[in-house]
A and B are shown apart, each in its own frame.
Chain A
Amino acid sequence: AQTVTQSQPEMSVQEAETVTLSCTYDTSENNYYLFWYKQPPSRQMILVIRQEAYKQQNATENRFSVNFQKAAKSFSLKISDSQLGDTAMYFCAFRTTSGTYKYIFGTGTRLKVLA
Chain B
Amino acid sequence: GAVVSQHPSWVICKSGTSVKIECRSLDFQATTMFWYRQFPKQSLMLMATSNEGSKATYEQGVEKDKFLINHASLTLSTLTVTSAHPEDSSFYICSELDRADTEAFFGQGTRLTVV
Contact = CB atoms under 8 A, between A and B. Distances in A.
A47 B103 contact: yes
Nearest to B101: A101
Nearest to A95: B104
A91 interface: yes
A44 B34 contact: no
Nearest to A108: B43
Interface string B74-115: 000000000000000001010101000111101011000000
Nearest to B51: A100
Nearest to B6: A44
B102 A50 contact: yes
A102 B49 contact: yes
B102 A44 contact: no
Contacts of A106: 43
B104 A103 contact: yes
Contact of B46 (A50, A102, A107): A102
A105 interface: yes
Interface string A15-59: 000000000000000000101000000111101001000000000
Given A50-B102, A101-B101, A105-B43, A43 B109 contact: yes
B17 interface: no
Contact of B103 (A42, A50, A91, A108): A50
A91 B102 contact: no
Given A45-B106, A105-B43, 12 more contacts: A33-B102, A35-B104, A42-B108, A43-B38, A43-B108, A44-B108, A44-B109, A47-B103, A100-B49, A100-B57, A101-B101, A103-B95
20 contacts: A33-B102, A35-B103, A42-B108, A43-B38, A43-B93, A44-B109, A45-B44, A45-B93, A47-B103, A47-B104, A50-B102, A91-B43, A91-B44, A100-B49, A101-B32, A101-B97, A103-B44, A103-B104, A107-B42, A108-B42
Interface of B: 32, 34, 38, 41-44, 46, 49, 57, 91, 93, 95, 97, 101-104, 106, 108-109
Interface of A: 33, 35, 42-45, 47, 50, 91, 95, 100-103, 105-108, 110
